[in-house]
Protein backbone atom coordinates (compact mmCIF):
# COMPACT_ATOMS: atom_id res chain seq x y z
CA UNK A 1 0.00 0.00 0.00
CA UNK A 2 1.35 3.42 -0.97
CA UNK A 3 1.67 6.33 1.44
CA UNK A 4 -1.25 8.22 -0.06
CA UNK A 5 -3.52 5.19 0.31
CA UNK A 6 -2.54 4.92 3.98
CA UNK A 7 -3.38 8.60 4.41
CA UNK A 8 -6.84 8.04 2.98
CA UNK A 9 -7.39 5.21 5.46
CA UNK A 10 -6.53 7.58 8.29
CA UNK A 11 -8.86 10.41 7.27
CA UNK A 12 -11.20 12.07 9.75
CA UNK A 13 -14.69 11.04 8.67
CA UNK A 14 -16.83 11.06 11.82
CA UNK A 15 -18.04 13.83 14.14
CA UNK A 16 -16.70 11.87 17.10
CA UNK A 17 -13.16 11.88 15.70
CA UNK A 18 -13.36 15.62 15.04
CA UNK A 19 -14.75 16.34 18.52
CA UNK A 20 -11.86 14.38 19.99
CA UNK A 21 -9.39 16.77 18.37
CA UNK A 22 -11.17 20.12 18.62
CA UNK A 23 -13.74 21.70 20.90
CA UNK A 24 -16.79 21.26 18.67
CA UNK A 25 -20.35 20.11 19.22
CA UNK A 26 -20.35 16.62 17.73
CA UNK A 27 -24.11 16.54 17.21
CA UNK A 28 -24.08 19.81 15.21
CA UNK A 29 -21.48 18.28 12.88
CA UNK A 30 -23.32 14.94 12.80
CA UNK A 31 -26.52 16.56 11.49
CA UNK A 32 -24.59 17.92 8.52
CA UNK A 33 -22.60 14.73 7.92
CA UNK A 34 -25.78 12.69 7.63
CA UNK A 35 -26.56 14.69 4.50
CA UNK A 36 -23.16 15.88 3.26
CA UNK A 37 -20.23 13.57 4.16
CA UNK A 38 -16.98 14.68 5.74
CA UNK A 39 -13.48 13.52 4.94
CA UNK A 40 -10.29 15.35 5.96
CA UNK A 41 -6.82 13.96 5.29
CA UNK A 42 -4.25 13.99 8.10
CA UNK A 43 -2.14 16.36 6.01
CA UNK A 44 -4.89 18.91 5.43
CA UNK A 45 -6.07 18.64 9.04
CA UNK A 46 -2.54 19.65 10.04
CA UNK A 47 -2.92 22.97 8.24
CA UNK A 48 -5.70 24.07 10.62
CA UNK A 49 -4.45 26.50 13.26
CA UNK A 50 -7.75 27.08 15.05
CA UNK A 51 -11.47 26.39 14.57
CA UNK A 52 -13.01 28.82 12.11
CA UNK A 53 -9.81 29.67 10.26
CA UNK A 54 -9.66 29.58 6.43
CA UNK A 55 -8.60 25.93 6.28
CA UNK A 56 -11.22 24.88 8.84
CA UNK A 57 -14.00 26.64 6.92
CA UNK A 58 -13.17 24.71 3.76
CA UNK A 59 -13.27 21.23 5.27
CA UNK A 60 -15.26 21.12 8.53
CA UNK A 61 -19.07 20.74 8.26
CA UNK A 62 -21.07 23.80 9.28
CA UNK A 63 -24.74 23.72 10.34
CA UNK A 64 -25.30 26.58 7.88
CA UNK A 65 -25.08 23.99 5.10
CA UNK A 66 -28.55 22.75 6.12
CA UNK A 67 -30.11 26.22 6.21
CA UNK A 68 -29.86 26.99 2.50
CA UNK A 69 -33.35 26.64 1.01
CA UNK A 70 -33.00 28.98 -1.98
CA UNK A 71 -30.24 27.53 -4.13
CA UNK A 72 -30.32 24.43 -6.34
CA UNK A 73 -28.51 21.08 -5.94
CA UNK A 74 -27.63 21.23 -9.67
CA UNK A 75 -27.68 24.90 -10.74
CA UNK A 76 -25.52 24.28 -13.82
CA UNK A 77 -27.99 21.69 -15.18
CA UNK A 78 -25.24 19.09 -15.46
CA UNK A 79 -27.67 16.19 -15.29
CA UNK A 80 -29.72 17.61 -18.17
CA UNK A 81 -26.54 18.09 -20.20
CA UNK A 82 -25.40 14.47 -19.74
CA UNK A 83 -25.95 12.50 -22.97
CA UNK A 84 -24.62 9.42 -21.16
CA UNK A 85 -24.30 9.03 -17.39
CA UNK A 86 -21.37 10.95 -15.96
CA UNK A 87 -20.47 12.80 -19.18
CA UNK A 88 -21.35 16.50 -19.43
CA UNK A 89 -21.47 17.99 -22.92
CA UNK A 90 -22.16 21.69 -22.43
CA UNK A 91 -19.83 23.34 -24.95
CA UNK A 92 -19.55 22.19 -28.59
CA UNK A 93 -15.90 21.07 -28.58
CA UNK A 94 -15.35 19.74 -25.04
CA UNK A 95 -16.82 17.45 -22.44
CA UNK A 96 -16.44 16.87 -18.73
CA UNK A 97 -15.91 13.20 -17.89
CA UNK A 98 -16.75 12.34 -14.27
CA UNK A 99 -14.39 9.45 -13.58
CA UNK A 100 -14.55 9.48 -9.78
CA UNK A 101 -17.10 10.28 -7.08
CA UNK A 102 -14.60 10.56 -4.20
CA UNK A 103 -12.20 13.24 -3.01
CA UNK A 104 -9.41 13.23 -0.45
CA UNK A 105 -11.18 16.08 1.35
CA UNK A 106 -14.87 16.85 0.92
CA UNK A 107 -14.85 20.60 0.44
CA UNK A 108 -17.83 22.28 2.05
CA UNK A 109 -18.33 24.54 -1.00
CA UNK A 110 -18.27 21.74 -3.61
CA UNK A 111 -20.13 22.42 -6.85
CA UNK A 112 -21.24 18.75 -6.92
CA UNK A 113 -22.17 18.68 -3.25
CA UNK A 114 -25.32 16.78 -4.21
CA UNK A 115 -23.36 13.66 -5.07
CA UNK A 116 -19.61 13.67 -4.39
CA UNK A 117 -18.91 11.23 -1.59
CA UNK A 118 -22.57 10.20 -1.44
CA UNK A 119 -23.79 6.69 -2.13
CA UNK A 120 -26.27 7.86 -4.75
CA UNK A 121 -23.61 9.06 -7.22
CA UNK A 122 -21.62 6.71 -9.44
CA UNK A 123 -18.72 7.43 -11.81
CA UNK A 124 -19.39 7.40 -15.53
CA UNK A 125 -19.34 3.99 -17.25
CA UNK A 126 -16.01 4.31 -19.04
CA UNK A 127 -16.85 2.31 -22.15
CA UNK A 128 -20.07 4.21 -22.72
CA UNK A 129 -18.46 7.60 -22.20
CA UNK A 130 -15.48 6.81 -24.44
CA UNK A 131 -17.82 5.49 -27.16
CA UNK A 132 -19.77 8.77 -27.06
CA UNK A 133 -16.61 10.85 -27.35
CA UNK A 134 -15.32 8.68 -30.22
CA UNK A 135 -18.63 9.10 -32.06
CA UNK A 136 -18.54 12.92 -31.86
CA UNK A 137 -15.60 14.29 -33.87
CA UNK A 138 -16.34 17.85 -32.72
CA UNK A 139 -15.00 16.95 -29.26
CA UNK A 140 -11.33 17.93 -29.12
CA UNK A 141 -10.91 18.57 -25.37
CA UNK A 142 -11.77 16.16 -22.53
CA UNK A 143 -11.72 17.27 -18.89
CA UNK A 144 -11.44 14.49 -16.32
CA UNK A 145 -13.24 15.50 -13.16
CA UNK A 146 -15.39 14.05 -10.42
CA UNK A 147 -14.78 13.77 -7.49
CA UNK A 148 -11.04 13.72 -7.97
CA UNK A 149 -9.53 11.69 -10.83
CA UNK A 150 -6.28 11.27 -8.92
CA UNK A 151 -8.02 9.16 -6.31
CA UNK A 152 -8.15 6.43 -8.93
CA UNK A 153 -5.29 3.96 -8.97
CA UNK A 154 -2.51 4.65 -11.47
CA UNK A 155 -3.66 1.63 -13.49
CA UNK A 156 -7.31 2.70 -13.62
CA UNK A 157 -6.43 6.26 -14.53
CA UNK A 158 -4.00 5.13 -17.23
CA UNK A 159 -6.65 2.90 -18.80
CA UNK A 160 -8.92 5.93 -19.18
CA UNK A 161 -6.14 8.16 -20.52
CA UNK A 162 -5.06 5.49 -23.00
CA UNK A 163 -8.61 5.02 -24.29
CA UNK A 164 -9.00 8.76 -24.84
CA UNK A 165 -5.52 9.06 -26.37
CA UNK A 166 -6.50 6.55 -29.06
CA UNK A 167 -9.34 8.79 -30.31
CA UNK A 168 -7.86 10.80 -33.21
CA UNK A 169 -9.94 13.96 -32.72
CA UNK A 170 -9.18 14.31 -28.99
CA UNK A 171 -6.37 16.86 -29.03
CA UNK A 172 -5.91 17.59 -25.33
CA UNK A 173 -6.84 16.07 -21.99
CA UNK A 174 -7.23 18.04 -18.79
CA UNK A 175 -7.38 16.75 -15.23
CA UNK A 176 -9.10 18.71 -12.49
CA UNK A 177 -7.69 17.73 -9.10
CA UNK A 178 -7.24 19.05 -5.59
CA UNK A 179 -4.78 16.31 -4.64
CA UNK A 180 -1.70 18.60 -4.65
CA UNK A 181 -3.52 20.74 -2.06
CA UNK A 182 -5.15 18.11 0.17
CA UNK A 183 -3.15 14.91 -0.47
CA UNK A 184 0.23 15.95 -1.92
CA UNK A 185 1.72 12.50 -1.29
CA UNK A 186 -0.54 11.26 -4.11
CA UNK A 187 1.76 12.97 -6.65
CA UNK A 188 4.31 10.18 -6.80
CA UNK A 189 7.20 9.71 -9.21
CA UNK A 190 5.36 6.70 -10.62
CA UNK A 191 2.21 8.72 -11.27
CA UNK A 192 4.06 11.54 -12.99
CA UNK A 193 5.99 9.12 -15.23
CA UNK A 194 2.68 7.64 -16.33
CA UNK A 195 1.01 11.02 -16.93
CA UNK A 196 3.97 12.18 -19.01
CA UNK A 197 3.13 9.50 -21.60
CA UNK A 198 -0.18 11.19 -22.45
CA UNK A 199 0.84 14.66 -23.50
CA UNK A 200 -0.55 17.17 -24.22
CA UNK A 201 -1.94 16.94 -20.71
CA UNK A 202 -2.97 19.84 -18.51
CA UNK A 203 -3.66 19.77 -14.78
CA UNK A 204 -5.87 22.37 -13.13
CA UNK A 205 -5.61 22.31 -9.39
CA UNK A 206 -7.47 24.23 -6.71
CA UNK A 207 -5.62 26.33 -4.13
CA UNK A 208 -7.85 28.80 -2.27
CA UNK A 209 -5.59 30.21 0.43
CA UNK A 210 -1.86 31.02 0.75
CA UNK A 211 -1.45 28.63 3.68
CA UNK A 212 -2.23 25.76 1.32
CA UNK A 213 1.03 26.49 -0.52
CA UNK A 214 3.37 24.42 1.63
CA UNK A 215 6.65 22.63 1.09
CA UNK A 216 4.71 19.41 0.42
CA UNK A 217 2.25 20.94 -2.05
CA UNK A 218 5.08 22.80 -3.80
CA UNK A 219 6.98 19.52 -4.19
CA UNK A 220 3.88 17.85 -5.65
CA UNK A 221 3.45 20.64 -8.19
CA UNK A 222 7.16 20.58 -9.04
CA UNK A 223 6.95 16.88 -9.89
CA UNK A 224 4.12 17.54 -12.33
CA UNK A 225 5.82 20.59 -13.84
CA UNK A 226 9.12 18.72 -14.23
CA UNK A 227 7.21 16.09 -16.21
CA UNK A 228 6.24 18.78 -18.70
CA UNK A 229 2.65 19.07 -17.47
CA UNK A 230 1.27 22.61 -17.52
CA UNK A 231 -0.40 23.58 -14.25
CA UNK A 232 -3.24 26.03 -13.77
CA UNK A 233 -5.25 26.98 -10.72
CA UNK A 234 -8.95 27.60 -10.25
CA UNK A 235 -9.85 29.34 -7.01
CA UNK A 236 -13.36 29.95 -5.70
CA UNK A 237 -14.11 33.26 -4.02
CA UNK A 238 -15.11 32.24 -0.49
CA UNK A 239 -16.31 34.42 2.36
CA UNK A 240 -13.95 34.20 5.30
CA UNK A 241 -11.31 32.38 3.26
CA UNK A 242 -9.95 34.52 0.43
CA UNK A 243 -12.31 37.50 -0.02
CA UNK A 244 -9.58 39.84 1.22
CA UNK A 245 -7.49 41.44 -1.57
CA UNK A 246 -4.26 40.97 0.39
CA UNK A 247 -4.94 37.27 0.87
CA UNK A 248 -5.77 36.75 -2.78
CA UNK A 249 -2.68 38.62 -3.94
CA UNK A 250 -0.44 36.55 -1.70
CA UNK A 251 -2.06 33.35 -2.99
CA UNK A 252 -1.58 34.29 -6.65
CA UNK A 253 2.05 35.25 -6.10
CA UNK A 254 2.81 32.04 -4.22
CA UNK A 255 1.24 30.00 -7.00
CA UNK A 256 3.46 31.56 -9.65
CA UNK A 257 6.48 30.82 -7.47
CA UNK A 258 5.64 27.08 -7.59
CA UNK A 259 4.97 27.15 -11.36
CA UNK A 260 1.18 27.13 -11.15
CA UNK A 261 -0.49 29.71 -13.39
CA UNK A 262 -3.58 31.41 -11.92
CA UNK A 263 -6.40 30.64 -14.36
CA UNK A 264 -9.81 31.36 -12.85
CA UNK A 265 -11.38 32.94 -9.81
CA UNK A 266 -14.91 31.58 -9.72
CA UNK A 267 -17.85 33.39 -8.25
CA UNK A 268 -19.54 30.83 -6.01
CA UNK A 269 -21.93 28.61 -7.98
CA UNK A 270 -25.52 28.77 -6.72
CA UNK A 271 -25.23 25.32 -5.13
CA UNK A 272 -27.54 24.34 -2.31
CA UNK A 273 -25.68 24.08 0.98
CA UNK A 274 -23.03 26.70 0.18
CA UNK A 275 -24.79 30.05 0.67
CA UNK A 276 -22.73 30.90 3.77
CA UNK A 277 -19.65 31.17 1.54
CA UNK A 278 -21.25 33.62 -0.88
CA UNK A 279 -19.77 37.05 -1.58
CA UNK A 280 -21.34 39.74 -3.72
CA UNK A 281 -20.01 40.03 -7.27
CA UNK A 282 -19.11 43.66 -6.64
CA UNK A 283 -16.90 42.55 -3.76
CA UNK A 284 -15.20 40.01 -6.01
CA UNK A 285 -14.53 42.74 -8.56
CA UNK A 286 -12.77 44.77 -5.85
CA UNK A 287 -10.58 41.78 -5.01
CA UNK A 288 -9.55 41.32 -8.65
CA UNK A 289 -9.09 45.07 -9.21
CA UNK A 290 -6.69 45.12 -6.26
CA UNK A 291 -4.46 42.65 -8.10
CA UNK A 292 -3.97 44.77 -11.20
CA UNK A 293 -0.92 46.97 -11.03
CA UNK A 294 0.01 45.62 -7.61
CA UNK A 295 1.37 42.35 -8.95
CA UNK A 296 2.42 40.77 -12.23
CA UNK A 297 -0.19 40.35 -14.93
CA UNK A 298 0.64 36.65 -14.80
CA UNK A 299 -0.89 36.65 -11.31
CA UNK A 300 -4.25 38.08 -12.42
CA UNK A 301 -6.72 35.29 -13.30
CA UNK A 302 -10.05 35.57 -15.09
CA UNK A 303 -12.92 36.33 -12.70
CA UNK A 304 -15.87 34.32 -13.99
CA UNK A 305 -19.43 33.30 -13.28
CA UNK A 306 -20.62 29.87 -14.38
CA UNK A 307 -24.17 30.75 -15.34
CA UNK A 308 -27.14 28.79 -13.99
CA UNK A 309 -28.95 26.58 -16.46
CA UNK A 310 -25.79 25.41 -18.19
CA UNK A 311 -25.37 28.69 -20.08
CA UNK A 312 -21.58 28.66 -19.73
CA UNK A 313 -18.90 30.81 -18.13
CA UNK A 314 -18.77 34.58 -18.60
CA UNK A 315 -16.18 37.13 -17.53
CA UNK A 316 -17.50 39.37 -14.78
CA UNK A 317 -15.67 42.33 -16.34
CA UNK A 318 -18.17 42.30 -19.22
CA UNK A 319 -21.26 42.38 -16.97
CA UNK A 320 -23.70 45.29 -16.84
CA UNK A 321 -25.06 45.98 -13.35
CA UNK A 322 -28.55 47.15 -12.44
CA UNK A 323 -28.87 50.43 -10.55
CA UNK A 324 -29.11 48.70 -7.18
CA UNK A 325 -26.35 46.20 -8.00
CA UNK A 326 -28.55 43.17 -7.34
CA UNK A 327 -28.73 42.03 -10.97
CA UNK A 328 -26.18 41.62 -13.73
CA UNK A 329 -26.78 41.29 -17.44
CA UNK A 330 -24.19 39.25 -19.28
CA UNK A 331 -23.73 37.89 -22.79
CA UNK A 332 -22.65 34.26 -23.05
CA UNK A 333 -20.67 32.48 -25.76
CA UNK A 334 -23.86 31.89 -27.78
CA UNK A 335 -24.66 35.61 -27.85
CA UNK A 336 -27.56 35.20 -25.43
CA UNK A 337 -28.25 38.03 -23.01
CA UNK A 338 -28.81 36.53 -19.58
CA UNK A 339 -29.78 38.13 -16.29
CA UNK A 340 -27.89 36.90 -13.22
CA UNK A 341 -29.35 37.72 -9.83
CA UNK A 342 -27.40 37.97 -6.61
CA UNK A 343 -28.64 35.58 -3.93
SS3 245: helix
The alpha carbons of the chain give a radius of gyration, in whole angstroms, of: 19
DSSP H helical segments within 34-100, as ranges? 42-45, 54-59
Binding-site residues from annotation for [4Fe-4S] cluster: 103, 107, 110
SS3 199: coil
CA distance 13 to 174: 29
Closest by CA position to 208, among listed 255, 176, 149: 255
Catalytic (active-site) positions:
90-91, 94, 103, 107, 110, 112, 269, 306, 313
Q: Is 255 exposed, middle or buried (0-12, 13-18, 19+ CB in 10 A)?
A: buried
SS3 4: helix
Q: Which residues contact 46 (CB under 8 A, 6 or more apart)?
A: none
Answer yes or no: are the C-beta atoms of 287 and 245 closer than 8 Å: yes
Instruction: Tell me which H or E stretch contains 332.
Output: none
DSSP 312-342: EEEEGGG-EE-TTSSEEEEE-TTS-EEEEE-
Binding-site residues from annotation: 103, 107, 110
CA distance 28 to 18: 12
Query: Following CA atoms 282, 286, 291, 294 in sequence, which dihedral angle do they give, to the nearest 10 degrees?
Result: 160
Amino acid sequence: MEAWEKSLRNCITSPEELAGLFHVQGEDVAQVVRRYPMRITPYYLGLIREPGDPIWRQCVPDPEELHDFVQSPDPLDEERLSPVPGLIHRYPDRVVFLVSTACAVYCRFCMRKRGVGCQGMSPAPVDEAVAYIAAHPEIRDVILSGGDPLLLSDERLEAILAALHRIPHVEIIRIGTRAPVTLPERITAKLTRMLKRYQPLYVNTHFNHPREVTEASAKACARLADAGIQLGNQSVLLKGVNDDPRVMRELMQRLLAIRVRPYYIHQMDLVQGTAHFRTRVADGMKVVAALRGHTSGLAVPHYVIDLPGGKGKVEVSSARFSADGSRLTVTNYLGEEIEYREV
